[in-house]
């Protein structure tokens, strides 16, 4: 099926060709006609499915045929959960809009940077605003933007908006919008909070579920490696050096771990940088630019990088720390194997995380052998206990904690 069969205008078909899109993906083929018909949409598709273009293309066509006013009034609003996703969606909108006969003004706004340039950019209005909820509300409070004219609302990564605690801010934004509008909700998963909001706001929506069948599934080789927790950095360094990986995205659980692992890799003369939510936006932007341009070999990231990042030809993703959920596992490994490329996703599994790994396997219907790399085989150990015989992680098992007499006997034995 060609893009020309979806009802797009000639300028947008030219834009599609310049972007190198050969044929619509499944989510694009179903979403574009529905949006052009004015229908509300509730869409679910795996990462890397072409979802952004699926809503941007018909959005642009809707604005192209609508009224043009001066000063400009915000007619389309795209809400996203992270700064990086806002920047990526904004870039896609601008790129696809370049071939339109009439210029559209796109404003991309997010926190972590000064609000003043964003306020200046909004002078004279904007046709499209791509925003994170918190910064958008800041701009509303500064009278820099008015949302009552919005006629098309897009929630991108709606599940992530709720996970990151944006529910209250999202409610405030929705209260500022005109009740008569077209709504497009996209989410990789559809948890109860997203479904409840969709049921409340969407009017007879077209439900689009694009499942990853064998023909759509990304080409990602998934592997699991058994390793002691204390040797993960050494194993990571060994794999990078022996495999000659030119770029590696490594996921960790905390900002501290990102800083620590990056520092250890740099000491081993491997060009690495941390990436987490507490970095300045300028630093985050620079790290991503260097990584995309292959000036940087390794990025050690928290889950702030698990969604929205589109890094072309990224060969390897490593779960240094396992993700909290099976859903986040999919988003993490989805940073590789994009746009028809192949990729590798490695997960480090220690004795302490084995049970959690088995749960991820079960929920993702995986059954991966636990590989052991020569020289990094895990050492069999008994669960650690303190002097009283209790597990430090749990404080002991109820009903089996040593009595006061037991402790006194143990102390006497050590003294003897």
The pLDDT score that the predictor gives to residue 173 is 95
Question: In terms of domains, do 140 and 257 share one?
Answer: no
Write down the residue that tokens 């990151």 correspond to.
164
Q: Which residue has the higher pLDDT, 392 or 148?
A: 148
Asked whether residue 216 carries a pLDDT value surpassing 70, the answer given is no
Question: In terms of domains, do 111 and 51 share one?
Answer: yes
Q: Is residue 403 assigned to a domain?
A: no
The tally of CA atoms less than 13 A away on the side-chain side of residue 288 is 21
Cα distance between residue 345 and residue 332, in whole Å: 9
Question: In terms of domains, do 196 and 241 share one?
Answer: no
The tens digit of pLDDT for each residue in 68-106 reads: 667 789 999 999 988 888 988 999 999 999 888 888 999
Question: In terms of domains, do 227 and 348 share one?
Answer: yes
> How many domains are contained in the chain?
2
Asked whether residue 404 carries a pLDDT value surpassing 70, the answer given is no
Question: In terms of domains, do 234 and 300 share one?
Answer: yes
Question: In terms of domains, do 127 and 276 share one?
Answer: no
Provide mean pLDDT across the span 335-346: 80
Q: Is residue 289 assigned to a domain?
A: yes
Q: Is residue 328 assigned to a domain?
A: yes
Q: Among positive and negative, which fits the CA dihedral 83, 88, 90, 91?
A: positive
Q: In the structure, what pLDDT confidence band is assigned to residue 384 with cuts at 50, 70 and 90?
A: very low
Tokens, residue 66: 């609508």
Question: In terms of domains, do 147 and 199 share one?
Answer: yes
Question: In terms of domains, do 148 and 273 share one?
Answer: no
Question: In terms of domains, do 183 and 264 share one?
Answer: no
- Picking from 210, 232, 267, the residue at the C-terminal end of a domain is 210
Tokens, residue 335: 């940073």
Q: What is the CATH number of the domain that holds 111?
A: 3.40.50.300
Question: In terms of domains, do 203 and 226 share one?
Answer: no
The pLDDT score that the predictor gives to residue 224 is 95
Asked whether residue 134 carries a pLDDT value surpassing 90, the answer given is yes
Strands 76-79 and 152-155: parallel
Q: In 3D, which of 387, 354, 405 has the Cα closest to residue 396?
A: 387
Q: Is residue 364 assigned to a domain?
A: yes
- Most confident by average pLDDT, 65-74, 166-175, 185-194: 166-175
Residue 54, class by beta-carbon neighbours within 10 Å (0-12 exposed, 13-18 middle, 19+ buried)? buried
Question: In terms of domains, do 53 and 183 share one?
Answer: yes
Q: What's the whole-number average pLDDT of the chain?
A: 85
Q: Among positive and negative, which fits the CA dihedral 3, 7, 13, 16?
A: negative
Q: Is residue 411 assigned to a domain?
A: no
Provide mean pLDDT across the span 340-362: 91
Torsion of CA 39, 45, 50, 53, to 10 degrees: 20
Cα distance between residue 19 and residue 393, in whole Å: 53
Range of the domain at 93: 3-210
Q: In the structure, what pLDDT confidence band is assigned to residue 214 with cuts at 50, 70 and 90?
A: very low
Q: Is residue 377 assigned to a domain?
A: no
The tens digit of pLDDT for each residue in 265-286 reads: 999 999 999 998 888 888 888 9
Asked whether residue 7 carries a pLDDT value surpassing 80, the answer given is yes
Provide mean pLDDT across the span 373-397: 56
Kindly give the residue spans of alpha helices, DSSP state H, lying in 250-353.
255-267, 281-292, 326-333
Write down the residue that tokens 């210029």 correspond to.
103
């Amino acid at each position: 099926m060609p893009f020309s069969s979806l009802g797009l205008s000639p300028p947008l078909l030219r834009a599609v060709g310049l972007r190198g899109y050969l044929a619509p993906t499944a989510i694009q083929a179903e979403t574009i006609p529905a949006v052009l018909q004015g229908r509300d949409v509730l869409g679910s598709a795996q990462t890397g499915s072409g979802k952004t273009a699926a809503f941007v293309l018909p959005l642009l066509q809707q604005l192209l045929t609508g009224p043009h006013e001066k000063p400009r009034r915000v007619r389309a609003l795209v809400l996203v959960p992270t700064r990086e996703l806002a920047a990526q969606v904004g870039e896609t909108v601008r790129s696809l809009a370049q071939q339109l006969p009439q210029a559209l003004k796109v404003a991309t706004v997010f926190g972590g940077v000064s609000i003043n340039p964003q306020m200046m950019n909004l002078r004279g209005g904007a046709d499209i605003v791509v925003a994170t909820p918190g910064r958008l509300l800041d701009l509303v409070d500064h009278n820099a933007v008015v949302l009552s004219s919005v006629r098309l609302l897009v929630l991108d990564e709606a599940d992530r908006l709720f996970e990151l605690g944006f529910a209250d801010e999202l409610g405030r934004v929705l209260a500022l919008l005109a009740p008569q509008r077209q709504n497009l909700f996209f989410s990789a998963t559809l948890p109860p909070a997203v479904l409840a909001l969709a049921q409340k706001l969407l009017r007879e929506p077209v439900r689009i579920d694009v499942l990853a069948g064998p023909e759509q599934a990304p080409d990602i080789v998934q592997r699991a490696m058994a390793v002691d927790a204390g040797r993960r950095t050494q194993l990571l360094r060994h794999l990078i050096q022996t495999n000659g990986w030119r770029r590696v995205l490594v996921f960790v659980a905390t900002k501290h771990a990102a800083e620590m692992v990056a520092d250890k890799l740099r000491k081993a003369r491997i060009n690495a940088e941390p990436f987490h939510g507490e970095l300045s936006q300028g630093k985050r932007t620079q790290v991503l630019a260097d990584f995309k341009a292959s000036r940087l070999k390794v990025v050690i990231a928290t889950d702030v990088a698990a969604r929205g990042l589109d890094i072309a030809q990224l060969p390897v993703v490593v779960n240094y720390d396992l993700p909290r959920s099976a859903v986040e596992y999919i988003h993490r490994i989805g940073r590789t194997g994009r746009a028809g490329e192949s990729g590798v996703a490695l997960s480090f599994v220690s004795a302490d995380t084995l049970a959690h790994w088995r749960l991820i396997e079960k929920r993702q219907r995986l059954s991966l052998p636990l590989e052991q790399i020569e020289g990094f085989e895990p050492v069999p150990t008994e669960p650690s206990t303190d002097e009283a015989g209790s597990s430090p992680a749990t404080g002991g098992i109820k009903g089996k904690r040593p009595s006061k007499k037991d402790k006194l006997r143990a102390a006497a034995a050590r003294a003897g």
